[in-house]
Amino acid sequence: MAEKSNINHDSNNNDDPRKKRHLKRWLFTIFLPLGLIGKAVYSTWKALRDRDKKLLEAERELPTTAPYHRQRRVVQIGGGVPLTATVFVPSGEGPFPAMIMVHSWMFWRLQCDWLYAPSFARRGYVVLTYDCRGWGTSGGEVSCAAPDRELCDLEDMITWMTSPESGIPADPERIGITGVSYGGGHSFLAATRDPRIKAAAPMNGWTDLYASLVPNGCWKAVWSIALFIGSLWALKFNLKNDLVRWLKAVVLERNLTAVKGELEERSAIYNVDDVQCPMFIVHSWNDDLFEPNQILRFYERLKTPKRLYMANGLHGYDAGRGDLLVPNRIWDDARRFFDYWLKDEKDNGIGTEPPVKYYTPWNKEMAEAEDWPPPGVEDVTWYLRGEHPATINAGMLLPEPADKPEPAQTLINNTVSNLHTSGPSMLRLNVLDNLPIPGVPFSVPGDSMAFTSPVLDAPLEIVGAPNVNLHVTSSTKECQVNALLYDVGPRGFCRLVTHCAAMRTDMVPGRVEALNVELIACAHRFKPGHRVRLVLCAADPLYVFPSLVPSFYRVFHNPTYQSSMTLPVMEPARK
């Protein structure tokens, strides 16, 4: 027995070195990459900081023939928060027209300093960029374009720039503003409240912040959480910050309306009539953070001289990349717009061009129009009807409403996901050579329901936002329906065209209620021989936060309750 005990003891001693080597191997595998990533991030930050200082020092030594020079300033704005700014001053005698540029969320003023400001400074503009409060090297905490903080900061920066004490040769009667994403939202808001701004070019900004994050009553969890994580530095990890309070209300309390009032205060759509300056609005069809719907509504209601450029890329990509490396028509048009209004260059051509330009993915070109919606676009309504004779668990889309009773169809909300989905947020492959986002070619009873049109005998072009009007009952007070619009090819291949969701929390169980789903605005061409398909399901967690209450819904389509879909159809394509 003693000998056996010794053998076991020796075996344990042999295992200890192995365990230690195994532990060291895992520590090396995990911590070495993390250490290298941390070192890379720190080194990048230090290099950018040092590069900014060295560039400023070098440009102070430029000869007097240089087109412009830069100055780094720290400005104590009215609230006592220090904001770090860069001022680009052209060579020559002033005063010069001035541009305010506001950076994007999670970025510093360096974004504008590198990509946008130099081209304006070379053309005779004073350009002011600054780190918004909480970001970069400025003080304070971010509160997402609060009217009593960030927007006051912006107004204070304009006051400082045009004051004699600043020494900046900026003309107070010729001030413009632009920015991408967060800067675009600032540009919209500033144009509604500061009459000193004489021209504005908001790019990929928002006009309705609540509708952006809670479209049709559904919370966009992926985007919201990503934006919050990206702002941890700017809110200085303060658990009482506005953004933390909003996230608690939505996630822990599931109270979406608790943040509505504060988000609406940060939305220009409610004060569009106060805009007094011309606007050049830039946006993108595939911007699924700030959907184009709100931008198009703002443009339609805007009464001042206006221009619209609807590109195709993901959020902030088309305008955000600037034209430092490759030409960019957006910034060419933006500079001509500001030259027209701030430098009185009335012969640069932009005043005679159609004010609306929008990307058409079927031919990869920019179409032009005199107004929005473009002339020739008419609403065409198709009605949801009963079973399609050639498709399992699918109804029909027909131009005539039902003239006899049809059985209602059932959707089950399992609170997790359905077979059909809009795909991952932020990654829209269709912006790359119009690549398709494929869909499931069939529906499972209870999981989803599909309604398909007859085969098209002519091209069908839609430009704008489709609408789905449903009549539904719910087994609980909550009801969420996701609508996905597909283009179905002759062989049954489905590609996603657009989508969105709608939710109500005031349903009376068992009572038929109306539910409207406005889909994301788009431009798409259905080819002859293809079909239009509408799919309805009850949960899509990749895009919106699904209802957490297990329930089932019934969708009605009969002479009394006529559920339908309305498409904005370009008239020539409909003939």
| 295 contacts 281 by C-beta, under 8 angstroms | yes
Residue 354, CA distances (Å) to 59, 367, 417, 521 in order? 40, 10, 44, 21
Residue 346 is predicted with a pLDDT of 92
Q: What is the sign, positive or negative, of the torsion defined by CA atoms of 49, 55, 57, 60? A: negative
Residue 404 is predicted with a pLDDT of 87
391 lies in the same domain as 265: no
405 lies in the same domain as 516: yes
d(CA 49, CA 34): 23
248 lies in the same domain as 383: no
Residue 50 is predicted with a pLDDT of 55
Average pLDDT over residues 286-313: 95
What does DSSP say about strands 460-464 and 522-526: parallel, antiparallel, or unpaired? antiparallel
Q: What is the pTM of this model?
A: 0.86
pLDDT interval class at 440 (50, 70, 90): confident
- pLDDT tens, position by position, 485-530: 999 999 889 999 999 999 998 999 999 999 999 999 999 999 999 9
d(CA 219, CA 463): 26
Structural tokens at position 137: 């090297």
- Domain final residue pick, 249, 279, 309: 279
Q: 3-class DSSP state for residue 144?
A: coil
Least confidently predicted of 41-45, 361-365, 557-561: 41-45
Which structural domain range is residue 252 located in?
48-279
d(CA 89, CA 118): 10
Residue 514 is predicted with a pLDDT of 95
pLDDT(56) > 60: no
- pLDDT tens, position by position, 418-436: 788 877 776 777 777 777 7
Is 548 a member of any domain? yes
Residue 2 is predicted with a pLDDT of 42
Is 284 a member of any domain? no
Residue 30 is predicted with a pLDDT of 60
Least confidently predicted of 66-75, 180-189, 259-268: 66-75
- pLDDT tens, position by position, 346-377: 999 999 999 999 999 999 999 999 999 999 99
Residue 397 is predicted with a pLDDT of 94
Residue 54: CB atoms within 10 A of its CB come to 10
Total domains, the chain: 2
d(CA 269, CA 281): 13
Is 168 a member of any domain? yes
Q: What is the CATH number of the domain that holds 468?
A: 2.60.120.260
Residue 1, CA distances (Å) to 7, 9, 10, 110 in order? 10, 12, 14, 76
Average pLDDT over residues 5-28: 53
510-515 long-range contacts, Cβ below 8 Å, gap at least 24?
Answer: 510/473, 510/475, 511/473, 512/471, 512/472, 512/473, 512/556, 512/561, 513/471, 513/472, 513/473, 513/474, 513/479, 514/469, 514/470, 514/471, 515/469, 515/470, 515/471, 515/472, 515/479, 515/481
Is 396 a member of any domain? yes
Average pLDDT over residues 538-557: 82
Average pLDDT over residues 58-72: 65
Residue 8 parent element (H or E): helix 2-60
DSSP class per residue in 335-350: HHHHHHHHS--TTSSG
Is 309 a member of any domain? no
Is 265 a member of any domain? yes
Q: 3-class DSSP state for residue 308?
A: strand
Residue 527 is predicted with a pLDDT of 95
Structural tokens at position 451: 């309604």
Residue 14: CB atoms within 10 A of its CB come to 9
- pLDDT tens, position by position, 203-216: 999 999 999 998 88
pLDDT interval class at 447 (50, 70, 90): confident
pLDDT(5) > 50: no
Average pLDDT over residues 156-181: 96
Residue 42 is predicted with a pLDDT of 62
Is 289 a member of any domain? no
| 422 contacts 223 by C-beta, under 8 angstroms | no
Residue 153 φ then ψ, to 5°:
-60, -45
**Residue 98 half-sphere exposure, CB side, CA atoms within 13 Å?**
24
Q: What is the mean pLDDT of the chain?
A: 86
Residue 17 is predicted with a pLDDT of 63
| 258 contacts 249 by C-beta, under 8 angstroms | yes
Residue 19 is predicted with a pLDDT of 58
Residue 494 is predicted with a pLDDT of 92
Q: 3-class DSSP state for residue 554?
A: strand
Average pLDDT over residues 117-143: 95
- Domain final residue pick, 215, 246, 279: 279
- Domain final residue pick, 241, 264, 279: 279
What residues contact 23, with CB distance under 8 A and at least 6 apart? none
163 lies in the same domain as 272: yes
- pLDDT tens, position by position, 153-168: 999 999 999 999 999 9
Q: What is the CATH number of the domain that holds 143?
A: 3.40.50.1820
pLDDT(441) > 50: yes
Is 432 a member of any domain? yes
d(CA 356, CA 375): 11
Residue 488 is predicted with a pLDDT of 94
What residues contact 467, with CB distance under 8 A and at least 6 apart? 516, 517, 518, 519, 565, 566
381 lies in the same domain as 250: no
384 lies in the same domain as 237: no
Percent of the chain with pLDDT over 90: 62
270 lies in the same domain as 384: no
pLDDT(140) > 70: yes
